[in-house]
Structure 1
Amino acid sequence: MKRKQRIFLMVLLLSLSVLFTGCKSSSREAFNTKMKEGEVLLQAEKYGEAVEYFEALYKENSDSITLMEKLEYAITLEASRNALKKAEAYLEEENYQEVLKSLEGVHQEDEKGVLLKEALLEDMKKEFLTKGKTLLEKEAFDEALALLKEYERLRGEDSDILVLHETILEEKNKPEEPKKLIVLNAGHQKVQDKNQEPLGPGSSETKNRVTSGTRGVATGIYEYELNLLMAEKLEKRLLEEGFLVKMVRTSHEVSISNKERAELANAWGADLYISIHANGSENSKKRGILTIYPSQDNPFVSHLSVESQRLSELLHDAMVEKTGANPVGAVPMDHMASLNWSKVPATIIEMGYMSNREEDVLLSEEAYQTKLVEGMVEGIKAYFSLE
């Protein structure tokens, strides 16, 4: 009897052992499956979810070293990516000090995070370079240098920053080019002078020293009045653009011949000599903008023809574009004393026909005058940029 009892107990113990081993094996398989699910979250870079998942699993399996390591890894990567997000937000706000502070939280175990950190630092450098170049274009040299110095304080020396730094210093220390002098001749004057003067140097042909010009058929405005008004408006705009300007006359009560006007421009060292006029014709239908330059066959200033033509064409086209006026063109003429006595590129601007009622009214309107002046400024600026 005792023997049977011993056999029974042995069988029972064996059965329980097998049952326990089976349960343990089943539990391990379930644990491994859950660990794999956590790995999927890590691979998807869902680090916040992975932390929550492994924390819940750890409560049931606190004796697992592998699980503890995975949990710590997930916590590390979540913190690393949160640091990156903060840095990105600070970069948008241009708070560069906080960008660098946040990036200190990117962990070396986060290999992709480390790469993203380097890319973010590169973006930060590009922002400094872009701002520096913009300030350079605006010739805000000191502000640009201060900006680059701030970058070096934050990040240390950098070859790209150093190159831009040298470029800014070169531009800052570059000698200023002399400003261009534009001499403006407001055509005609109040009292004409019929005394004669040579058409050009050494010429036996003569012309009246100066006339009073035409008069508006609709407005009654004298040409000499309109010419001075427009010359003054052009002077103001050219000064704003950084040119030097001298006016041949600043009032109507003068007596300066066409020859003397050109000689003044020569004596002042003009870069350009521009005479401002308005046109008149017996044909009241004629209208439009015209510019005049000496031809290549001009017996006095043929050497100035090419540059004077270029100036005339640029002025003509810019004024036509601004105003929508009829384009009469840039026309060569050799009987203009103001051109023939000039020693620099010169042109005569005929702004429109005061003998045409509609155009005469337009020429008296401030809005149209502004368009004309802006066209003149654009033409002059284009002339020097093409030199």
Structure 2
Amino acid sequence: MRVLAALSGGVDSAVAAARAVDAGHEVVGVHMALSRTRDQLRTGSRGCCSIEDAGDARRAADVLGIPYYVWDLSQRFEETVVADFLAEYAAGRTPNPCVRCNEHVKFATLLDKALALGFDAVCTGHYARVVERADGTRELHRARDAAKDQSYVLAVMGPDRLARSLFPLGDVSSKDETRREAAERGLSVSAKPDSYDICFVADGDTQGFLRDRLGAQPGEVVDSRGEVVGTHDGAYAYTVGQRRGLALGRPAADGRPRYVLRVEPVANRVVVGPADELVVDRVLADRAVWYDDRYDAWRDDAARAGGGLGPVSVQVRAHGAPVAATVEPPARHGEVDRVAVRLHEPLRGVAPGQSLVVYAGTRVLGQATVTSTERVGGTAQATAQAPAQAVVRTTA
């Protein structure tokens, strides 16, 4: 196959490309320039897309003996990932930019461009496994190394794009194994630190980034009874479940710590309360992507019989633990893009905007975006609202 290997400049993508070469594929390396204001050097292990990263990617390609190109996808990244990040926070939701990058850039823009140029697949350094069934259907599974598993952020890609994707690191036992292999191959990135946090917020100050782009919007922080207990400079800077940085002027009467229960962007208000008010046992989501066409038959049968899809597990955070659950039948026939999940164990602090991924064992069954949650007993909780008007400042 002709394979386009996405080279970030890190050790994972370099080893993944090397394994694609070993597998006999015709491999071409490409580095995606995603930032409009790339620094010469990274700041420690924060951020990515620096000129240093592009140089590291080029050196890896040289060692592997494959052609290498840099593609400027910064405008697409700004218009999709960054714009979505700002709009979601402005609407009182908590987005995962890695999920949106995989959806809009790595497995949309990059893959579409690769296919247009005659490539058969895209290869990345993500930690996930692809299992092919006897009928040729490809399944997305968790990586062998649970600590590095990235199936959660990949689930949004869907079955069609999965069919054109290679993840050579899915069976690696640990990141140490990846680094040892890189060193043995003579790749200079073998000891390079991992990037973390949000790649386009290289200094790690997410609130500062939001404040710079969205501007100051002072408002009230209130408790669940509506009493004012503090102020804020922008409700967009808060997320459900947050405890630190609330700067409340009045302590709770019972002395217990308080957390963000919900964000109300229309009223520009943040509601706080005790931890037990964060507990939910039902999660609703939309924009669902399913990996098995048998879901259609189940959906119709379940709607008639009143049953649910289970047993399954769901995950609502990139590094969160899976929780046993049942997917409820759609409220209306054919409503495949909406999902309601009943949790067998209550969760705390699930925020609108988070990605909900449904698993059967290690296999990804589907993915959707959380819209609202319900507390134990059926009380509505943490439902996102659309802002009356969100002013987003972008930089050139």
TM-score (norm 2): 0.22
Specify which structure has the bigger relative contact order, considering alpha-carbon pairs within 8 angstroms and separated by 6 or more residues: 2
Larger Rg: 1
Higher strand fraction (1 or 2): 2
Higher helix fraction (1 or 2): 1
TM-score (norm 1): 0.22
